[in-house]
Amino acid sequence: MKTLVCLFIAVMLSSFTGFVNAQVADVTVVVSGIKEVKGKIMIAMGDQSKSSEMKYDMVEVTSKDNVTCVLKDVPVGKTNLYVYQDVNGNYQLDKDENQVPIELCFVKEKISVQESGNKFDAKLMNVKEMMGGEK
């Protein structure tokens, strides 16, 4: 009987471990809208209020063509995608005195990450220009 209980617990634990492992996936992000060959594309997925749980990566900008990045082990479910071009290499999205981004960026909230086949397009935008500010 004791052996049967131990076997049952072992099976349940291995099933649970498999379930937990199945809850993350790789995500491919294709970034367009790059205006200059400078700096890095910074990509993050997750909830900004839980920064320690977010998945990050950066890719060197080597041309104005699309840049592709693959984030590993992103939790399956709804999440947010943040992308910007860090032109000056300070590893943060620069903003003006009114907190308007001055570097090209992209944000998409509540996207669905599935267990496979995750590919998202992110077109960088000049927020200040869109608001009618300086170019």
- Model pTM score: 0.80
Query: What structural domains and CATH numbers belong to the chain?
Result: 24-130 (2.60.40)
- Return d(Cα 59, Cα 85) in angstroms, integer: 9
pLDDT classification of 51: cutoffs 50, 70, 90: confident
Over residues 87-131, the pLDDT tens digits come to 999 999 999 999 999 999 999 999 999 999 999 999 999 998 888
Q: What is the pLDDT of residue 128?
A: 85
| DSSP tag of 131 | T
Q: What is the pLDDT of residue 5?
A: 44
Query: Count of H helices and E strands in the chain?
Result: 2, 7
Q: What is the pLDDT of residue 70?
A: 95
Tokens linked to 123: 């077109």
